Amino acid sequence: SDHNVEPITPVQASEVKQRDLLAAFTATPRLATAVLWAASRDEAMVVEHLVDLGRRTASERMAHFLLELGARLRLVGMADRAGFACPLSQYLLADA
């Protein structure tokens, strides 16, 4: 792997076997479409992060990160237009 993940809040994870995932995609093509859309969206975010590194100031990078975090949390009901809980320390924000 070329990266790692470090949770900052408790998480639950489950293993999904490839054959089970392919069977689910076969049975539910809309699920396959949704997963591919999510992967495409993630790829677009990676490109945006590369732009962050090369063209934005530190303040601009931090603003973009916090706005993106808020948008992603709104998608899953963990934020609203007024804001969101942010348990990130200065150390974690610097890494981000």
Helix locations, the chain, DSSP H: 18-27, 29-55, 58-75, 90-95
State the pLDDT confidence band at 1, using cuts at 50, 70 and 90. Answer: low
pLDDT, tens digit, for every residue of 83-92?
999 988 898 8
Give me the pLDDT at residue 34, please: 93
Dihedral sign from CA coordinates of 10, 15, 20, 22: positive
Domain ranges of the chain: 17-55, 58-96
Selection from 19-23, 42-46, 52-56 with the highest mean pLDDT: 19-23
At 83, is the secondary structure helix, strand, or coil?
strand
Q: Is the whole-model pTM more than 0.75?
A: no
Q: Do residues 7 and 13 make contact, with C-beta atoms less than 8 angstroms apart?
A: no
Check pLDDT > 90 for residue 26: yes
Summarised one tens digit per residue, pLDDT across range 39-51 is 898 888 888 878 7
Count of CA atoms in the C-beta half-sphere (13 A) of 64: 15
- What is the average per-residue pLDDT within 67-84? 92
CB atoms within 10 A of CB 62: 15
What's the CA gap between 31 and 80, in Å, rounded?
27
